[in-house]
Structure 1
């Protein structure tokens, strides 16, 4: 399954997934749109300064974005934690904290953060999407589908969640066919369906 990543969509582990790593598209206007990150540098013109030489303003959010784009996850986590110590309810920082835990190989930590975000900010699709990806990676397809359904309810135009849902449904179809065949091994039509799904499954899992 897949997601907007830094700086381009990344193919990750099975099922192939898109994990949202851009700024959250907060409906109450704190950050930029979901599919496109704000620029790293915020620019501000001041008197006595020409427009051709703007001042670059460093902010905690921009600093974290820069580190994430450079894949400096340990450094980014230190900065995120520092900011959360003074503003523990900052949803963007908390989302990045979950994303960083994923990159550092701690999916259970990330899962708990995304769960908390979905409860506190059900209007945000990205935490639901990433939660769905983590559930799918664990083989919990029912929970993954529920999370992706919620992501698409929050934003019906969320392309990454649509792609993830498609990948998930292919894997769920295979699982259902295999269960049916296990219950009734003499069925003739099931095995060919599983075989026909294999090329698609290879694509969803990022195989060449």
Structure 2
């Protein structure tokens, strides 16, 4: 029997381009809706097909991590979140979601570090603030129980933390978050996941896991009760910093369009904000000498202390705790007055024996090209 050359070419084209065409027919919206109906295993299989053509697709990998976490494959989900953090260090979602899984296993220090990372990338994420408040509350509760010699009654698994983009709505790529492309394809970093056989409960009736927000509670061992953790920034406050994006699924055509360049603050204002964040980071990491170097020789301590006495006191307070966590939020645009700048923000502090939240104002002055703190005021 003779076979025409056209028949051979058609068969070759189907074999070569069939899988790619099938992957292009899949959309994240349809996959996410499938997962929302409880068909998580089938959704994961479709995600794998989708990722064959787009191995570094952020939204698809994030959704896969969320679904793996929901079906109990925590290690695989953590591996995906970790690879996303390396490839997309300016996006907060993977930081937050990895922290959620770590906190559920009682790894609170790791969780706090990743939540701080999320807030570094996007200072207005309400979910990250709420999660961090709950983790800090657990820290304080454990410290209080340890001081009393009793076991904490709250298990780590009972912390109701919230995943970002879990699994809908799928976040739209934002210029400010995607300015730094992935350094390498994530195809080799994605774990090989052995999917279980779909059961009736997974394919039809199982609803997606919901993570409702919950007020943070804290217990401290200090005799003076710390101030309550304030509510996350209001819409008016958030508009002065960075407003959270509305997260929607991008269309295939939109993904090919160039994004608008991110808004870059003036160099002086950016330098002030960077100095303040570096000061807070040195404090959190208990690098005493680096922390003190952010203060001008002419710094005047609040309360009338001599500078040498203040420096000795600060050194002791940074070295004594086993850990320190400092988070700044509502960091407003610095007010510049020549070589002076005024910055206001809300400061969340937590250690193994104390936690509080205060409003703070820093006055900085440019000295030898560096911004140094000349006044630090804790608002009543």
Q: Tell me the TM-score normalized by structure 2.
A: 0.33
Larger proportion of strand: 2
Match of 1:13 in 2: none
Match of 2:88 in 1: 121
Match of 1:109 among 76, 79, 85: 76
Larger proportion of helix: 1
Match of 2:53 in 1: 86
Alpha-carbon distance in structure 2 between the residues aligned to 1:108 and 1:143: 15
Match of 1:72 in 2: 39
| Larger-Rg structure | 2
Is 2:134 aligned against 1:167? Answer: yes
Alpha-carbon distance in structure 2 between the residues aligned to 1:158 and 1:75: 31
Calculate the aligned-residue CA RMSD, in Å.
Answer: 2.8
Alpha-carbon distance in structure 1 between the residues aligned to 2:114 and 2:127: 13
Q: Tell me the TM-score normalized by structure 1.
A: 0.59
Mapping of residues 14-33 of structure 1, within 5 Å: none
Number of aligned residue pairs: 137
Q: Give CA-to-partner distance per residue, 1:69-128, whole Å, 9 cap, x none.
A: 223211110110111122211111111111110111111110111011011101111111
* Secondary structure in 1 matching 2:89: coil
Is 2:103 aligned against 1:147? Answer: no
Structure with the bigger RCO (C-alpha within 8 Å, sep 6+) is: 1
Alpha-carbon distance in structure 2 between the residues aligned to 1:168 and 1:103: 20
Greater than 6 Å deviation, 4+ residue runs: none
Alpha-carbon distance in structure 2 between the residues aligned to 1:68 and 1:158: 25
